Amino acid sequence: MKLRFDYNNMMTSAIGSHGIAPSVIDKAQKAHVAAFKEVIDNSGKGWQEWTETPLIDEKAVAELNEFGKEIRDKASSFVVLGIGGSALGPICVFNALLHLHHNELPEKMRKAPKIYVEDNIDPVRMSSLLDVIDVKTSYFNVITKSGETSETLSQFLILYNMLKKAVGEKEAKEHIIVTTTIGKGALYACAEKEGFKVFGIPSGVGGRFSVLSNVGLVPFAVMGVDIDSMLYGARAMREACERPDIKSNPALMTAFLQVKSMEAGKNISVMMPYADGLKTMADFYCQIWAESLGKAVDKAGKKVNCGQTPAKSLGVTDQHSQVQLYTEGPFDKVVTFIGVESFGDNVDIPSDETADIGNFLKGHTMGELLTAERKSTEFALTKAGRSNFTILMPEINAETVGELLMYFMYETAFAGAYLGIDTFNQPGVEEGKKATFAMIGRAGYEEKLKELESLEKKAEYIIK
């Protein structure tokens, strides 16, 4: 394991009465054993098939890389159509591992197609995409586990229709790659009929836990990401998260500290990476934490309305927009910093007489300044008695990104086990999906439409 986890600033020794005493950790041994046992005993079973995703065999990886190169050599643009976990995983990995201005690079420097991940159905966004891609030379990866996701299917219908008009029906089929559950759903049936290339998603891998399945691996292979190293890192983290001792298991420890913080009224979890390449990693975290832990009832059916609201922040940008609240506002937050020790690229701040200003900065690097800013924010929060801990990455590469993604998944699973909830369902999301089907007029949802119509807003509560 390359990542390091520093939770000193969660403890009473650092932040006083707002922290957690070592005795609290020690006295909760039964809870640790139970949470650990629940997750590890169910590894690879039911909705925990995601724990097996890093164990894909070498032959399958080689086939993915071969397919990825084939598309990479032909495509001018590669477009991922998906939403939620079908988009956030690819987005955060591309942000971390590709050039931050990948699409703007000259083709020779890119060595891969332009990449677009379309995770919303704003019509202006679709029109804007069509303004910048050449449909004739673009390839489209349609991702939906259920094969029934309204947003993704609408995108597919629009673009497949355009493709057929642009290149003809036979060639259009070659430009569509489907990632879905094999044998289930409307998209799979369509793919079989049309002859699209299909990659499967294991039945026990939910969307927000799917980044290391074909949901992520197919687009990563197309874009030339080192998926071998990413999976190696994920396996290393998997091994660390299978350690039974909480003091050597990073995900079990931080999950417990977060749950104890929730019990103390700290119902907001801020994810604050100090690297632009990790900016969208906070989006990935926000989804997995919110959808997994925000539940109305526990497994016994008791009303709990539990969860911790995730918030995203970026160092140092949001030191100038949010940190004032974190240091002096309510004691209702835990801040997780992600620090990077080596940025690979670095930029020197000139030490000559370029300008008679900022002399204290001269001779340093931007990486030094960024690290100093992170440590100073940790210091300020700690001095103010605010809960925070730091994940340290030696550098951002495929291996460490694989570790980080796997850590987030295990931390979430352990937190759900401590809370006694079903971490892997999403009844609140499903209700919204059903309402959408009803409003669009899908057959079989007539009763839901009647329910919606009965909730028609009263005119007297509308301001015009």
Copy the structure tokens of residue 422: 């079903």
Phi and psi based region of residue 147 (left: phi greater than 0; alpha: psi -120 to 50; beta: remaining): left
Residues in CB range of 412: below 8 A, 6 or more apart: 255, 288, 289, 292, 293, 423
What is the edge-to-edge ordering of all strands in the sheet holding 333-340?
4-6, 387-393, 333-340, 268-273, 309-312
Whether 241 and 252 have beta carbons less than 8 Å apart is answered as yes
Q: 64 to each of 70, 214, 287, 383, how far by Cα in Å?
A: 10, 9, 27, 49
Is 320 a known active-site residue?
yes
In the chain, helix, strand, coil percent, each to 5?
55, 15, 30
Q: How many CB atoms within 10 Å of residue 43?
A: 16
CA–CA distance, 317 with 275 (Å, rounded to integer)? 10
Q: Which one of the listed residues 102, 184, 197, 433 is annotated catalytic? A: 433
Q: Which one of the listed residues 49, 118, 151, 291 is annotated catalytic? A: 291
Parallel, antiparallel or unpaired: strands 77-81 and 197-200? unpaired
> For the CA atoms of 259, 91, 317, 345, what is the dihedral angle to 10 degrees?
110
DSSP strands (E only) in 242-370: 268-273, 295-297, 303-306, 309-312, 333-340
Whether 410 and 241 have beta carbons less than 8 Å apart is answered as yes
Residue 366's nearest CA partner among 350, 345, 349 is 349
Is 291 a known active-site residue?
yes
Bridge partner residues of 392 (DSSP): 4, 339
Q: Which one of the listed residues 320, 457, 458, 464 is annotated catalytic? A: 320
Q: Angle formed by the axes of helices 250-263 and 29-41, to 10°?
A: 120
Whether 83 and 431 have beta carbons less than 8 Å apart is answered as no
Active site residue ranges: 291, 320, 433
